[in-house]
Amino acid sequence: MAQRKGAKPPAPPAKRRRALRSHAWFGKLDRDGLAHRSWMKNQGLPHHLFDGRPVIGICNTWSELTPCNAHFRDLAEHVKRGVYEMGGFPLEFPVMSLGETLMRPTTMLFRNLASMDVEESIRANPLDGVVLLTGCDKTTPSLMMGAASCDLPTLVVSGGPMLNGHFRGELIGSGTHVWKFTDMLKTGELKPEDLPEVEAGMSRSAGSCMTMGTASTMASMAEALGMALPTNAAIPAADSRRRTLSHMAGRRIVEMVREDLRMSKVLTKQAFENAIMANAAIGGSTNAVVHLLALAGRMGIKLSLDDWDRIGRIVPCLVNLMPSGKYLMEHFYYAGGLPVVLREIGPLLYKKALTVNGRTIWDNVKDAKCWDRDVIFPLDKPFKKLGGVAVLRGNLAPNGAVLKPSAATNSLMKHRGRAVVFKDIDDYKKRVDDPSLDIDATCVMVLQNCGPRGYPGFPEVGNMSLPLKLLKQGVKDMVRISDARMSGTAYGTVVLHVAPEAAAGGPLALVRDGDMIELDVKNRRLHLDVSDAELEKRRRKWKAPKPHDERGWVRLYCETVQQADTGCDLDFLVGASGAPVPRESH
C-alpha cells in the first residue's frame, strides 16, 4: 500500500507499555529513525508496522548446500503468518548454514563461527524476539548458542525429519545405513551400480536424517529443554503439521516478547538435567554431550561430563529407533513422539521447568498417549536397560571420554585387547584394508589426532569402519577409541571424545601398537596398561603436530578451542553479553 500523504511518524509506545528494544531503531523521530524506517520501506513494508509492535527475527539456516534445511523458506513464511496474526512484525534473516554432508573438513569446525554470526546478527539489529529455524546437526546448537549469548525471548522451530527410507523392501535409515552399505560395498554384498537406487530410497523428502541421529537428537533436546513447542522433535518435514507448528511458533514468540520470557528463564540447570534424561531415554547422539555443555557455558550454568554420567545412568533407553533400534522418526511421531517419552520419565523429571509456551514441561506432556509400544517402551519395561552416555576415565582419558551403551555390543563392554594404532585419519585410510595389517577381532583400534585441534574441527570419524579382512570373517563390532566424535546415526562399541586429545598432548598420543588397553564400561574405566615410567619416556619424545593454518578462522579456532570435556566452545565465547542496544552507525 502506498504511503498516505501527511501520515504521522510512528508513535512511541504507549506509556504503560514497556519500550521494546526495536523502538531504539524504529521509534525515533530524528535522522536515524528516518533512515532506519525509510530503507526498510523499500521492501513494501507499510508505515504502521513501525508503530512499536514486537519485531521478530526469523533466523534462517536455509541453504541449497544444506539439503536438510532446503525447505526452510517455506517454514519461515508460516512463522510470519503467526507473527502477523498476533500483531508482530516479522523480519527473516540468513545466517551461516552448516550442511553436514557437504562441508569439509567437518561442520563442527564451524559451529562456533556460525554461533558468532547468530549472536552478532541478533544484537546488531532491531529485534525483540527470535525464532530459530534449525535442522541439520550443527544448525541447532550453533543457533541456540548464539541466541543464548544475547538472551532475548527465543523459540526453536526444527525443520523435521525426512520420511522413512526404503530400499528393496527394507526400511533404511539416514546415516545408519550409510555405514551398513559401506561395509556391504567392501564385502561385495552391494554393487556400485546399486548406489543410485540406494541414494534415492534413503532421502525421499525434505527434512533432516530420519534416524535418531544428531539432528533428531538436537531437535529433541530443544523440546526437552523447553525451547521448542511440544511435538517439535518428530513431526516429519513433509507433514503439514510441521507448517502448523511453525505458524503457532510465530504466534507464540510475539506473546513471549510481551511477557519478556527470555532464554535465561527457560534454560535453567533443571532444564539441562531434563534434557540429559531425555537424551538417555531416546538413545540420543553422543554429540548432544558437547553441544549441551557448550550451550550451558553460554548461559553461565555449570554442567559437566559427570552430570551426563550421573543423570544418564538412571535413565534406560525407551525408544526403539535406529541406530539403537529398528524404527525411524516417522514411527516415533505416530507413536506419540517426545511428549510420550517425557511423560514416561516423569518420575525422574524436574516437572516445574518452564517452557516457551509459558507452561511447565509436565503440563505439556502429562496427558501424552503412546500409540505404539513397540516404538516407545514404558519406563518399567524399557527397550534397553542401559541408556545415556557412559563417561569413562583412566590414564588414557584423564579428563574423560564417552561411549553410548545403547549402540554398543554387550560382550565388548568389558574388554582387554591389543592396540592397533593409526596416527591420523590418512594413516587409517591407507592401512585399514591392507591384508598384512596385524589385527584380529580382539584388538582395539586406536585413532589419534582427530580431536578439535588435531583434525582440525573434531570430525565424525570415530566409528572407524572395520578392516575388510575382519568384515569378511563376519566380525560386526570391535572396540574403537579416538579423540574424534561419531555421527549420531552410527553405532558400535566406540569410545569417543577422549580428552585431552592427542594433538594437545593427551595420553592418547602415547599409545603404541601392541600396548594392552582395558575397557570396563560398568566401572567407567579406560586404562592403558603401560607403566607411568614408560609413558613419561614416550611423553618426552612426543612432538606436537604442526599448526594447520597460519591465518583466518582455522588459526583462531585452533588457538582458542576448548577440549571435548567442556564442549569445544572457543574460550572467549563462553558466557553471554546480552543484547544491549549498540550505538548508532552514523
CB of 175 to ligand FES, least distance (A): 6
Q: CB of 136: closest distance to ligand FES in angstroms?
A: 3
Q: Which of 20, 147, 155, 209 binds ligand FES (CB under 6 A)?
A: 209
Annotate 482-497 with DSSP letters as a single string.
ESS---TT--SSEEEE
Nearer to ligand FES, 209 or 227 (CB): 209
**E-assigned strand segments in 386-515:** 390-394, 397-403, 414-422, 444-447, 479-482, 494-499
Read off the C-alpha cell for 398. 584423564
Q: How far is the CB of 272 from ligand FES (least distance, A)?
A: 23
On whether the CB atoms of residues 140 and 216 are closer than 8 A, the answer is no
CB of 212 to ligand FES, least distance (A): 11
Residue 9 or 105 having the CB closest to ligand FES: 105
C-alpha radius of gyration, the chain, whole number: 25
Q: Which stretch binds ligand FES (CB under 6 A): 207-215, 250-258, 324-332, 543-551?
A: 207-215
Rounded CA-CA distance 368/93 in Å is: 35
Buried b (16+ CB within 10 A) or exposed e, 271-283: bbbbbbbbbbbbb
Task: Write down the least CB distance from residue 171 to ligand FES, Å.
Answer: 17
Contact 27, 18 (CB under 8 A): no
Name the one residue in this structure whose C-alpha cell is 574441527.
457
Length of the chain equals 586
- Is 205 a binding residue for ligand FES by CB under 6 A? The answer is no
Q: Which is nearer to ligand FES, 63 or 448 (CB)?
A: 63
Burial (CB count within 10 angstroms: exposed 0-12, middle 13-18, buried 19+), residue 554: middle
- Cβ 103 to ligand FES shortest distance, Å: 10
Binding segment toward ligand FES, per CB under 6 A, in 209-217, 348-356, 404-412, 472-480? 209-217
Q: Return the C-alpha cell found at 107.
A: 561442520
Burial environment of residue 162 by CB neighbours within 10 A (0 to 12, 13 to 18, 19 or more): buried
CB 101 to ligand FES: min, Å: 5
The 211-230 contact track toward ligand FES, x by CB under 6 A, reads --x-x---------------
Cα separation, 562 vs 571, whole angstroms: 6
Contacts for 192 with CB less than 8 Å, ≥ 6 apart? 185
- State which residue, 65 or 581, has the beta carbon closest to ligand FES: 65
| In the complex, minimum distance from the CB of residue 99 to ligand FES, in angstroms, rounded to a whole number | 7
Cβ closer to ligand FES: 97 or 112? 97
Task: Output 136 or 303, the one with its CB closest to ligand FES.
Answer: 136
Give the distance from CA 70 to its chain's centroid. 18
Is 137 an interacting residue with respect to ligand FES (CB under 6 A)?
A: yes
Q: Does 382 bind ligand FES (CB under 6 A)?
A: no
CA distance 537 to 542: 9
Taking the least distance from each CB to ligand FES, the nearer of 116 and 136 is: 136
Nearest residue (CB) to ligand FES, 33 versus 213: 213
Taking alpha carbons only, the member of 469, 466, 471 closest to residue 447 is 466
Q: In the complex, what is the shortest distance from the CB of residue 243 to ligand FES, in angstroms, rounded to a whole number? A: 19
Counting residues that bind ligand FES (by CB under 6 A) gives: 10
Is residue 100 within the footprint of ligand FES (CB under 6 A)? yes
Q: Which of 208, 274, 324, 463 binds ligand FES (CB under 6 A)?
A: 208
**One residue of 114, 131, 133, 136 binding ligand FES per CB under 6 A:** 136
At which residue does the C-alpha cell 502448523 appear?
244
Cβ at position 100, least distance to ligand FES in Å: 4
Task: At 2, list the grid cell.
Answer: 502506498
What are the cell numbers at 126?
532491531
Alpha-carbon gap, residue 339 to 245, rounded angstroms: 15
Distant-in-sequence, close-in-space partners of 559: CB < 8 Å, separation ≥ 6: none
Give the shortest CB-249-to-ligand FES separation in angstroms.
Answer: 20
**Of the candidate residues 68, 335, 375, 478, the single one contacting ligand FES (CB under 6 A):** 68
Q: Does 101 bind ligand FES (CB under 6 A)?
A: yes
Q: Which residue's CB is nearer to ligand FES, number 100 or number 569?
A: 100
CB closer to ligand FES, 22 vs 463: 463
Residue 237 binds to ligand FES (criterion: CB under 6 A): no
Q: Where are the beta strands (DSSP E) in 61-205?
A: 89-94, 129-134, 154-158, 165-167, 170-172
| Cα distances (Å, whole numbers) of residue 422 to 130, 438, 449, 503, 513 | 45, 12, 9, 14, 9
C-alpha cell belonging to residue 539: 611423553
Question: How many CB atoms are located within 10 Å of the residue 522 CB?
Answer: 10
Segment interacting with ligand FES, rule: CB under 6 A, options 31-39, 140-148, 208-216, 217-225: 208-216
Q: Distance (Å, rounded) from C-alpha 409 to C-alpha 478?
A: 9
For ligand FES, which is the closer residue by CB, 137 or 223? Answer: 137
Q: Which is nearer to ligand FES, 176 or 566 (CB)?
A: 176
Q: Contact between 56 and ligand FES (CB under 6 A)?
A: no
Contacts to ligand FES by CB under 6 A: 68, 100-101, 136-137, 174, 208-209, 213, 215
